[in-house]
Structure 1
Amino acid sequence: MSIEDHLSLREIEIARAYAAGDTYQAIAVRLGIAPSTVRTHLATIYRKLEVSSKLALHDRLAGDSPPPDTDHAAIISELALNLEEALRREQAMAQVLRIINRSRGDVTVVMEAILSFALDLCEAEFGILFDHHDDARYSAGHMLGIPAPFRAWLRTSGRFAVGQGTGLGRLARQREVINIPDVRAEEIFRTDDPLRHATAILGGARSFVAIPMMSDDRLVGAFTVYRQNVRPFTDQATALARIFAEQSVIALENARMVSALRRDATAR
């Protein structure tokens, strides 16, 4: 039987893109679906084709014969995807460290890479790295995948104050991870809070997690990732976001050190 006999047209499109090296995030953006939907399709594809790796998927798409039938196809497909995702996490962390080391203080390049990896591995649609200022206000320092209306609101707002009931307000007060299952389900959504309105309506966000970015005991920012459907971030996804937040702080500190060295060199 051919691939077309096993898979739908959408599954074939996703299978070919993934086998060619595309990430969940890249496939999701191109097809207009959530990264989590891409993963669900891949689990089904692995099960239907009875493959247990991206290489095997590539070979199967190229016309290789399927392996003998197994009663454990669903379990094998899930384990295979979990293993591949673990390898992707390790590769992403190594790549982030390489980018930081080679950035020469170009924090924009580093932050775009960190956000890109974070969105892919955390299966989120968009992300924002908020700077926290000494006047207790925030500003959007770096963004990726943001819907245009929300981006425009953030740019226009510049440095803005946040209500205590917002995710950023609670993060500033508690200095802890804020994981909100549904931004529209909280009481603050039914008020006139501008940040929550912009997040939910202009950004279309539903589930949201914010990680405090700490330099010693000082809050320097918030690393935030958003999903546009109600699918709360698991402990594993939150732990991943925390690692990326820590890498962001390292990148910011490196950029400040490079800038200071350049100023000193100019002064001489």
Structure 2
Amino acid sequence: MDRADQEGTLSAREREIAQAYASGDTYHQIAKRLVIAPSTVRTHLATIYRKLGVSSKIALHGVLSGETQITFPDIEESAALISELALSLEEAISRERALAAVLRIIGRTNGQLQEVMAAVLEHALELCDASFGILFEYAGASGYRCIYSRDISGSFANWLEEQGSFRVSPQTGLGRVETSHSVVSIPDVRAEAIYKSEDPLRYATADLGGARSFAAIPMLAGEDLIGAFTVYRQSVRPFDRKALDIASMFADQSVIAIQNARLVARLNTAVQGH
């Protein structure tokens, strides 16, 4: 089967996603360009792998470039399993690369705190395959404060800005992090009783932010909670435990990156003052 016939097995949207992914774009880059959720990109890719009978990004590129002929699997169920396993493997590799990336952030920190926070949150979203995220600072009695966000709605951003530093209910995700210092994953923020109680933070998360599945990963300095990054999906698709475990390790490294940026910024200010 020639290249035209191969690509003809895909819809226009599938061809667009396949070409972008084979060229090196991530789920998030594709999702942002096409204005869809990263999870939707993944669903399309699973279908693409199954239709083309490929099991890796390299093989996908080969089929799309005409270097490899399409081979249809004999058993549809086996093809679906192969495509799922292949995507899972590539996702695992991407997570490991993201973890290494934050170490590079630490190495090149030059006091640019906003850049460090942007990089940290971007990689957190990649690790967890999330739609949007928030980096919160925690200050004990003062509670939490949003210090950086990515891809959140304007109404949710305005609400967070109006709050400044704020305390949270123990039943919220951030409240549970405050108590347990451990990862909190909520399959559906609208299904919990606290949503029906009109808790301000849960209302803002669900109604202003459009969140459904949610996870909060604590950022710890020793035994002290200094912050958390929260990630959200706009459909009910609970976060994978393995991904959250890797995100937790990533959070530990992120603390070092952020603290280094703050330290360098203070040193630079002190030097400029003399």
CA RMSD between the two structures: 1.9
Aligned residue in 1 for 2:32: 29
Q: Give the aligned partner of residue 243 of structure 1.
A: 249
Q: Do the aligned residues in 2 keep the contact of 1:214 with 1:249 (CA within 8 Å)?
A: yes
Task: Specify which of 161, 174, 177 is matched with residue 168 of structure 1.
Answer: 174
Tell me the alpha carbon deviations over residues 76-120 of structure 1, each in whole angstroms, 9 at most, x when there is no partner: 322322222222122222222112211212222122112112212
Q: Which residue of structure 2 aligns with residue 143 of structure 1?
A: 149
d(CA) in 1 for partners of 2:208, 2:70 = 48
Contact 2:111 2:264 in 1 (8 A): yes
Q: Which runs of 5+ in 2 are unaligned?
A: none
- CA drift at 1:267: 6.6
**Cross-structure match for 1:44:** 47
Q: Which amino acid aligns with 2:12?
A: L
TM-superposition CA deviations, 1:25-80 (whole Å, max 9, x none): 11122223221221121111112111222222122112234254433433332232
Alpha-carbon distance in 1 for matches of 2:174, 2:85: 36
TM-score, L = length of structure 2: 0.90
In the alignment, which residue of structure 1 is the partner of 2:16? 13
Question: Is structure 2 residue 6 aligned with structure 1 residue 3?
Answer: yes
| SS at structure 2 position matched to 1:170 | helix
Distance 1:164 1:69 in 2: 53
What is the aligned partner in structure 2 of residue 219 from structure 1? 225
Percent identity, aligned pairs only, is: 56
- Residue 85 (str. 1) matches residue 71 (str. 2): no
Pick which of 252-261 and 89-98 moved more.
Answer: 252-261
TM-score, normalised by the number of residues in structure 1: 0.92
Distance of aligned partners of 1:62 and 1:184 in 2 relative to their CA distance in 1, 3 Å threshold = same
Task: Look up the SS of the partner of 2:55 in the other structure.
Answer: coil
Count of paired positions: 268
Q: Kindly tell me: are residues 75 and 182 of structure 1, through their superposed partners in 2, closer, same or farther at Cα, counting changes over 3 Å?
A: closer
1:62 maps to: 65
Following superposition, the deviation at residue 266 of structure 1 comes to 5.2
Residue aligning to 1:75: 81
Return closer, same or farther for 1:69/1:164 CA change in 2, 3 Å cut-off.
closer
Distance 2:131 2:185 in 1: 16
Residue by residue over 1:158-199, the C-alpha shift from the partner in whole angstroms, topping out at 9 and shown as x without a partner, is 111212221111211222221111111111111232111110
- Classify 1:63/1:263 alpha carbon distance in 2 versus 1 (closer, same or farther; 3 Å): closer
Counterpart residue identity of residue 185, structure 2: N
SS in 1 for 2:165: coil
1:261 equivalent among 251, 257, 267: 267
